[in-house]
């Protein structure tokens, strides 16, 4: 990788027009290991101009042309998967095995799915005498996060390509190296000049310039609710479409008939994967009040089994959280849980005993949590689980929905009819029944302050298209 201090614009690696560098920090060591270019409004203007110039020709390419292009991208991506995993491990602290088998694997999954979707996607249909056409929305701006970086890049770029859009990507400046490798993949795959562009930089500068840009037709943003609001406010001045995948505080309802040994253990381990840094993590576990003592013991055993350690150790379950800022936030919220009277079952403040450097967090479980406590309201984004006791099913549903977020919910019961009934009452964009295997064809996105729009599969392609009605297209 040789392009840390460059942007990718109009099919070439280019020096920034407003040269400035920032450090990239390895969260395992707390030390900077490289620097990247930080762009500014002029760099955004150059990239948007390239995307705008490329749009008319790319929008007219055939479905087969775009299928072939996505296949070429997939082929090149497979050649670089190990490089991407190594970069993710170094820049965001994912254990190397997890980075390869989970993080980098998502790129393969989304590309494969989008190729399938594009082959059968209905860009046109006739209703009576009217043609309803879906056309590429235009130039799209993509802002992606640091927690599942390559996943979010591919699940935006792939449908953009499939739709016939051109684009400018701003990846996270916290975890930027995987995006540089991705840009090398796009170049090697022969993506036409100007169709895909990448400008490195900070959200407050590059993201703001993209959101306000009059020649960007749509913004697709993944990140915090706070930042998503700023993107939407800025984009409103040019009345562009804004798709947002934002924060979450997902409920996991364990109904009384579930196998608690299995359900609690899976809930704890699933929530703490990726060091708890997943927007749809099941961070609030609702359990029957008369079973809480049993649940506490199971949850403590599960949390204590999580191995926090070096990312290159195959025994490691989770690595550090991504940055000093995140570490400090998590520590503040753990202290808030203790101060507000939640019962500390496992973990607690500080690093694990065997680690004195790096942003490592102790796997932490609180019980007897009330839904008005800070740890039940705020998105912690770390390996911290709250257990909330409920009186009955209606009480569990009421508390689960009592949040500003609505990204995901989880329901556990061997009684499928009961699980379905509870799932139907969840105010969330995704509901996971009985810890299912993930589905890249299912729409991904949230209710309320978890965002709007949907990603993955057909639903992503819908979001990157505009609808045109040609009335009188067919003779009466």
H helical segments located in 281-403: 292-305, 324-339, 374-377, 393-401
- Cα 475 to Cα 126, 470, 472: the distances in Å are 12, 12, 6
A 10 A CB-CB count for 366 gives 28
Q: Is-catalytic flag, 279?
A: yes
- Cα 306 to Cα 95, 195, 253, 292: the distances in Å are 13, 43, 22, 21
A 10 A CB-CB count for 273 gives 17
Main-chain phi, psi angles of 25, to 5 degrees:
-105, 135
Of the residues 245, 379, 393, 455, only one is catalytic, namely: 245
Contacts with 276 (C-beta within 8 Å, 6 or more apart), sequence order: 283, 318, 321, 361, 380, 381, 382, 383, 384
Q: Find tokens 């505080």 and name the residue.
A: 249
Return the C-alpha torsion angle 41, 218, 172, 14, nearest 10. Answer: -50
How many residues belong to the chain? Answer: 476
Contacts with 290 (C-beta within 8 Å, 6 or more apart), sequence order: none
- In DSSP terms, 412 is beta-bridged to 254
**Measured between alpha carbons, how far is 174 from 328 in angstroms, rounded to an integer?**
16
Q: Find tokens 């479409």 and name the residue.
A: 241
* Separate counts of helices (H) and strands (E) for the chain: 15, 20
Of the residues 76, 91, 184, 279, only one is catalytic, namely: 279
CB distance 277 to 222 below 8 Å: no
User: Sign of the C-alpha dihedral, residues 151, 154, 157, 158?
Assistant: negative
Three-state SS for 126-193 is EECCEEEEEEECCEEEEECCCCCHHHHHHHHHHHHHHHCCEEEEECCCCCCHHHHHHHHHHHHCCCCC
Question: What is the set of active-site residues?
Answer: 245, 279
């Amino acid at each position: 990788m040789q392009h840390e201090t460059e942007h990718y614009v109009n099919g070439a690696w280019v020096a920034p027009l407003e040269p400035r560098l920032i450090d990239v920090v390895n969260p395992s060591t707390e030390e900077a290991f490289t620097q990247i270019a930080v762009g500014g409004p002029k760099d955004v203007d150059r990239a948007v101009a390239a995307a705008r110039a490329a749009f008319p020709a790319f929008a007219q390419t055939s479905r087969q042309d775009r299928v072939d292009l996505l296949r070429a991208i997939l082929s090149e991506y497979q050649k670089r998967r190990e490089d991407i995993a190594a970069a993710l491990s170094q820049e965001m602290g994912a254990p190397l095995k997890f980075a390869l088998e989970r993080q980098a694997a998502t790129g393969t999954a989304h590309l494969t799915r989008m190729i399938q979707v594009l082959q059968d996607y209905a860009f046109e249909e006739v209703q009576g005498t009217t043609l309803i056409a879906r056309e590429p929305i235009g130039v799209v701006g993509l802002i992606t996060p640091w927690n599942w970086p390559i996943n979010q890049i591919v699940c935006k770029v792939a449908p953009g390509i499939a739709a016939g859009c051109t684009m400018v990507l701003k990846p996270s400046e916290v975890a930027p190296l995987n995006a540089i490798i991705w840009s090398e993949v796009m170049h090697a795959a022969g993506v036409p000049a100007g169709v895909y562009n990448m400008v490195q930089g900070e959200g407050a500068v590059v993201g703001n310039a993209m959101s306000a840009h009059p020649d960007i037709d749509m913004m697709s943003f993944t990140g915090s609710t706070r930042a998503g609001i700023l993107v939407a406010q800025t984009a409103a001045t040019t009345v562009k479409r804004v798709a947002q995948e934002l924060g979450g505080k997902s409920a996991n309802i364990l109904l009384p008939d579930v196998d608690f040994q299995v359900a609690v253990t899976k809930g704890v381990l699933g929530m703490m994967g990726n060091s708890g840094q997943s927007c749809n993590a099941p961070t609030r576990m609702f359990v029957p009040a008369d079973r809480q003592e049993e649940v506490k013991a199971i949850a403590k055993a599960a949390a204590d089994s999580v191995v926090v350690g070096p990312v290159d150790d195959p025994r490691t379950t989770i690595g550090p959280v991504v940055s000093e800022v995140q570490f400090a936030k998590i520590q503040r919220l753990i202290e808030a849980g203790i101060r507000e009277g939640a019962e500390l079952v496992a973990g607690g403040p500080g690093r694990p005993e065997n680690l004195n450097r790096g942003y490592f967090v102790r796997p932490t479980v609180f019980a007897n949590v009330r839904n008005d406590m800070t740890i039940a309201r705020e998105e912690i984004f770390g390996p911290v689980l709250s257990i909330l006791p409920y009186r009955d099913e209606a009480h569990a549903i009421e508390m689960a929905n009592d949040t500003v977020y609505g990204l995901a919910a989880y329901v556990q019961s061997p009684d499928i009819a009961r699980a379905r009934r509870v799932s139907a009452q969840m105010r969330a964009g995704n509901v996971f029944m009985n810890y299912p295997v993930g589905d890249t064809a299912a729409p991904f996105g949230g209710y309320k302050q978890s965002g709007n729009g949907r990603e993955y599969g057909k639903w992503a392609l819908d979001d990157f298209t505009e609808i045109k009605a040609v009335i009188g297209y067919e003779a009466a």
